[in-house]
Structure formats: C-alpha cells, structure tokens
C-alpha cells in the first residue's frame, strides 16, 4: 500500500514515511538502575516497628542527652550514698546561709542543712512518686481505654462518660482536696495513689483511640477466624500493636507527675517535712530568695532538669514511632 501523506500548511501531522525514518534513542541498560535494584538483598526478615524506631532513635542527639539525664537521675535516686556521704537531715544553725565550702559545694540553707545532700536525696522521693503514679495510671487507663475501644457499645458509652467526668476535674486541685483528708498519713504511696486516681484519663483516651484504629486490621480478623477468643485477640494482637502512643505519653506523664508532687510539697500538703523532696526545699527557700537565691536554684534546677529529660525522651520516642514522621 502506498504511503499516505498529508499536505497542509505545515501545522498538520507529518507524513508516515518521514516518521518511519526518524531516529530513535534508547537509554542504556546501566542508566535504568535495574542492576542496583536487583542487587538489593531482600531475603532478610523485615524490620519491626520497634527495630525501625531504635534505628531512628540512636541517630538523634536528643535521645542520648535525655537518656543520660534520666539514667543519672535514676542512679541518684536509687543510690544517693554513691554521690554524697552527708546526712540531709543533719543541720547546724551556725552554718545558716553560708556559701560553698570544702565538702559542701552548694552551701547551706537557712536551717544550716547541706543543700547538695538535700538535692541528692530529694531525687528519691520525687522520682519514686513519679514512677509509682505513672505505673498505676498506665494500668488503669490502659484497661479502661482498651475495654471501651475494643468492645464498644454500652461498654464504650459508660466508660467514656466516666472518663469525661474525671477528665473535667483538675489534677492538682483534686489532689489538694484529697490530700487534706490524708493529712495524717502523707507518704510517697499516698501521694502517688492520689495523683493516679485523677491522672489516668488521658491515657484511657489515647488507648481507646489506638485500640479502635487497630482492632479492624486484617491480622486481628484472621486471628479471630482461627478460633482465638476476643480477650486473647485484645491482649496478644491488639494491645502490643497499639502500645506506641501509650509508651510515648507515659514517658511525658512521668515528668508531669514529678512536677505535681513538687507542687503539692511546695504547698505543704504533699510529702511531710521528714521526707526530703525538691518541692519541700523550694518552699523553704522562699524566705531566703532575696538574700541568697542559690538556696532556691539548686533544688529547682534539679527538678527542671529531670522533667526536661523525660519530656525530651517523650519527644524523641514519639518522633521515632510516629508513622508520619518515619515516612518523611
């Protein structure tokens, strides 16, 4: 068949014969990158969420800085005698508001107590209250949030309304009122229990939302179709995959509860004076603020550094576990 050509003003299609004689260019095989793709070893097991999170965490300076602060504070709280040999309750009025001397790097407070020793021993009470309150909050909030999110229906309705009622009560205000009742029995367990009684609502909400987003995944449906009970599916398949936001908030909540304990002790309704705490020392230092501000600086600085460490750790863990951040 003869070639069909089209005539025109130059704006129409080109002749078929002309198109046949056009040169064609093909990319070289090396330029396509297929060799590099084929060279990738995909025989290994895929990394888990926690494995990927650890790879991301160990590359961040904020994680190592916060981990150092947390480890140091925990070591001070657990083994204070390794950092000082002085008794924080031993005071001499003759040393009142004296500056730093040999063996007393922070000087003395108004009662003549060694500030360094009290700062070291104050970590134990504050960290203990924070850890106990956080553990209790995680247990209570996880159970309530998981049951509400997984079973739904009237479980969700009742538990969500109870959570809303407790959520509307300010944590510190409720703790102030309740601690007045236990004024004769104030200790670390009492303070931790009161803080946990009103501090579990946020974790319950987070757990509920996380469980609701996980429970309809295919692996949960497959497990239930194989005869796994609903309770086993919740504890073995749903909660482990919904734990990431719970862990993130728990890290931040620990710092929040340490601040709450210090606030109660500062107001004189938290830990008794017989227990050394940063909040109590900050309260006592108010009277010396104008004449010797360093008396307030050391316990307040230790409190701020501890809370900063936990908040930084929470931010680092959140960024490592957040799918939106991990895909950037």
SS3 111: coil
Residue 262, both tokens: 């210090």
Please report, to the nearest 10 degrees, the dihedral formed by the alpha carbons of residues 215, 216, 218, 223 taken in order.
Answer: 50
Backbone torsions φ then ψ of 287, nearest 5 degrees? -65, -20
**Within-domain flag for 244:** yes
**Within-domain flag for 4:** no
The pLDDT of residue 4: 47
Interval 225-268: pLDDT, tens: 888 887 888 888 888 888 888 888 898 899 999 999 999 998 88
The pLDDT of residue 314: 87
**Within-domain flag for 10:** no
pLDDT band at 328 (very low <50, low <70, confident <90, very high): very low
Interval 9-58: pLDDT, tens: 545 555 555 555 556 555 555 554 555 555 555 555 555 666 777 888 88
**Within-domain flag for 121:** yes
**Within-domain flag for 43:** no
| Tokens 């909400």, residue located | 205
* Eight-state DSSP code of residue 113: B
Quote the domain boundaries for residue 118.
Answer: 49-326
137 C-beta neighbours (distance < 10 Å), count:
27
Least confident of 43-47, 61-65, 180-184, 246-250: 43-47
Q: Is residue 108 within 8 Å of residue 98, measured between CB atoms? A: yes
Direct distance between the N- and C-terminal alpha carbons of the chain, in angstroms, rounded to an integer: 58
**Within-domain flag for 226:** yes
* Rounded distance between C-alpha atoms, residue 195 and residue 130, angstroms: 9
| Beta-bridge partner residues of 108 | 114
* Rounded distance between C-alpha atoms, residue 165 and residue 177, angstroms: 17
The pLDDT of residue 119: 92
Spacing of C-alpha 102 from chain mean position? 39
| Tokens 């946020």, residue located | 202
Domains held by the chain: number: 1
**Within-domain flag for 140:** yes
Q: How far is CA 275 from CA 85, 174, 195, in A?
A: 17, 22, 18
Global pTM exceeds 0.95: no
- Residue 283 sits in a domain whose CATH number is 1.10.3720.10
**Within-domain flag for 89:** yes
């Amino acid at each position: 068949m003869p070639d069909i050509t089209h005539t025109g003003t130059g704006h129409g299609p080109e002749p078929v014969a002309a198109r046949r004689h056009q040169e064609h260019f093909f990319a070289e095989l090396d330029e396509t990158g297929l060799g590099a793709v084929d060279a990738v070893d995909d025989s290994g097991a895929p990394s888990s969420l926690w494995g990927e999170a650890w790879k991301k965490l160990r590359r961040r300076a904020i994680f190592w800085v916060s981990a150092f602060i947390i480890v140091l504070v925990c070591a001070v709280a657990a083994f204070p005698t390794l950092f000082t040999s002085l008794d924080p309750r031993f005071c001499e009025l003759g040393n009142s508001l004296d500056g730093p001397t040999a063996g007393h790097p922070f000087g003395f407070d108004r009662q003549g107590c060694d500030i360094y020793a009290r700062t070291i021993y104050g970590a134990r009470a504050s960290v203990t209250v924070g850890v106990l309150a956080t553990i209790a909050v995680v247990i209570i909030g996880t159970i309530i949030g998981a049951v509400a999110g997984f079973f739904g229906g009237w479980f969700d309705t009742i538990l969500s309304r109870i959570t809303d009622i407790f959520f509307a009560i300010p944590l510190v205000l409720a703790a102030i009122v309740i601690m007045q009742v236990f004024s004769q029995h104030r200790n670390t367990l009492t303070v931790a229990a009161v803080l946990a009684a009103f501090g579990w609502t946020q974790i319950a909400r987070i757990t509920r939302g996380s469980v609701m987003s996980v429970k309809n995944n295919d692996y949960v449906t497959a497990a239930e179709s194989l005869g796994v009970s609903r309770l086993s599916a919740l504890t073995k398949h749903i909660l482990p995959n919904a734990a990431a936001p719970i862990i993130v908030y728990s890290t931040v909540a620990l710092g929040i509860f340490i601040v709450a304990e210090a606030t109660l002790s500062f107001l004189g309704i938290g830990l008794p004076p017989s227990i050394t705490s940063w909040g109590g020392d900050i309260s006592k230092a108010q009277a010396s603020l104008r004449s010797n501000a360093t008396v307030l600086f050391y316990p307040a600085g230790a409190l701020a550094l501890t809370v900063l460490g936990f908040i930084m750790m929470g931010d680092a863990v959140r960024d490592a576990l957040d799918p939106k951040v991990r895909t950037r």
